[in-house]
Structure 1
Amino acid sequence: MTLTSPRRTGLTDQVIAQLRTQITSGEWPVGSRIPTEPELVERLGVARNTVREAVRALAHNGLLDIRQGSGTYVRATSELAGVMHRRFADASPRDVAEVRSMLESSAARLAAERRTERDLGQLEALLVRRDDAWASGEAERFVAVDTTFHLAVVAASHNDVLGELYADLGDLLRGWLRDDVGPELRPEHLMDHRRLVAAIRAGDGESAAAEAAGYPFLCPGGRAPQEQQEQREQQERQEQQAQRDTGDQDTSG
């Protein structure tokens, strides 16, 4: 998709429309840096002030993030997603987990009732891609595939409103998953989604809903503080036991 020189009427609105199209079409993905102001001026053939005004408007709507000294980055793919970014930026991880649980369990229940063979094929393929991404050790790659998997479950519900809502949440979901996974993939963070797909394939809405409802609370950010403390203590005990076992082996050797 190429940028074209707009007509000389309503220049700012036309530039806004073109930039929005680059974003919503995926030409400029979330997290990517858009062309610099001089580059946009050259491509569009408009004045610098027009480009600056358009970028500021899209930043105000939540689609772009202007970072002084770094550039302008895509924050969201729609105005609603942008509003959600601003509204939920400081939300409690536990609150986020509860909302995800409600949405994802409802979607999984509907998916079990309405899925097509094409939906099932896509979910099975994404399971394979998810395993491959985990095996690669690349956290960002895994987050991208895992997000796509969750979006595919919602799509299999064949509820357009739920699909649109979750699509707008998709950018936020990617951020939440990125926080959950962290900079490196740890074995205790991997959740097997095969039972969910099996329940959807079997048309078992209750099992699918229950399986999906629990995932957000298994993520580190979704656990209550007490649960997080217990998790840390358990991990420390395991590490200490592993060290003792290693010491015993060295002594016996």
Structure 2
Amino acid sequence: MTLTSPSAPAQRRQTLVRQVIEQLREQISTGEWALGAKIPTEPQLVEALGVGRNTVREAVRALVHAGVLECRQGSGTYVISTDELSGVVARRLAAAEMADAVEVRRAFEVEAARLAALRRTPEDLAALDAALRDREAAWASGRVADFVEADAALHTVIVAAAHNAMLAELYASFGAALRASLTEAMRGALRPDRYVAHGELVEAIRAGDPARAAHEAGAFLETLQGA
């Protein structure tokens, strides 16, 4: 039996679809289409990209399947993650126990804190100080959503200070779970008994003490898991 290859027109079509997928990804990765934003309509994409309707439809469908876009009946198509990895992680976390999510956070954040203590730069320390101040101000505001965002921002700065691009990318894909775990721990209110200071964690990184930084990060997550 002889296997035949796809026809040249079919191959060209698939190549064109892949090119359109990359163009759509670029719009998302560069922030042209922000997280949560509605993307242009199919006719608008056809005109902007200079391709056929079926090509646009296939490319959008591929990104929907990857978890990057979401089609909402009667409303349009929206950006729900910045890349395929984030989409996959979001779907997996939706079915995970919160305790599992916290344990994965521990794996990321303890190592990130340890590396940050070894590799932080003066610029990193300035960013950490600013993020810590924002976190304190958000707690004082009494608004759960503001505090969750400020806390997530501080941990993202710590991961950035580790200067490991792969760790930063993987951690970014975990952002939704990070916020969800803290929101659940707060249970709708910023009560004093749920407050966990992060000053010692930042100071351990400043002091260049990887063991203490890792301990502080791990202790925080133990507190969160037991909340």
| TM-score band w.r.t. shorter chain | 0.7 to 0.9
Give 2:79's match in structure 1, choosing from 74, 77, 81: 74
Amino acid at match of 1:105: V
CA distance in 2, matches of 1:34, 1:180: 34
Corresponding residue number in structure 2 for 1:234? none
Measured against aligned partners, the alpha-carbon deviations of 1:156-211 in whole angstroms (never above 9, x if no partner) come to 122333223222323443444444446x5423444321111011111222221111
Q: Say which SS state the counterpart of residue 174 (structure 2) adopts.
A: helix
Q: 5+ residue gaps in structure 2?
A: 1-11
CA distance in 2, matches of 1:32, 1:187: 33
User: Partner residue of 1:51?
Assistant: 56
Give the TM-score normalised by the residue count of structure 2. Answer: 0.80
2:218 is matched by which residue type in structure 1?
A
Aligned partner (choices 185, 190, 215) of residue 186 of structure 1: 190
Task: Measure the CA separation in 1 of the matches of 2:68 and 2:110.
Answer: 28
Contact 1:30–1:171 (Cα < 8 Å) also in 2:
no
Matching residue of 2:5: none
Which residue in the other structure is 1:105 paired with? 110
Cα offset, 1:37, TM superposition: 3.1
2:98 is equivalent to residue 93 of structure 1: yes
Task: Report the CA distance shift for 1:71/1:98 in structure 2 as closer, same or farther (over 3 A).
Answer: same
In the alignment, is the contact (CA less than 8 A) between 2:102 and 2:181 conserved in 1? no
1:127 CA drift (Å): 1.1
Counting aligned pairs with the same residue, the percent is 52
Task: Check conservation: 1:129, 1:145, Cα contact below 8 A.
Answer: yes
In the other structure, the counterpart of 2:154 is: 149
* 2:223 counterpart residue number: 218
What is the distance in 2 between the residues matched to 1:215 and 1:185? 19
Q: Counterpart of 2:92 in structure 1: which amino acid?
A: R
Stretch moving more, 155-164 or 37-46: 37-46
Alignment of 1:162 onto 2:183: no
SS in 2 for 1:28: coil
Q: Conserved in 2, the CA contact under 8 Å of 1:101 and 1:214?
A: no
Aligned residues of 2:117 and 2:206 also touching (Cα < 8 A): yes
Q: Which 10-residue stretch deviates more, 38-47 or 159-168?
A: 38-47
Aligned residues: 214
> Are residues 171 and 94 of structure 1, via their aligned partners in 2, closer, same or farther at CA, if it must alter by over 3 Å?
closer
Distance in 1 (CA, whole Å) between partners of 2:133 and 2:52 is 49
**Root-mean-square deviation (Å):** 2.6
Residue 34 of structure 1 and its aligned partner are, at CA, apart by 2.5
Aligned to 2:70: 65
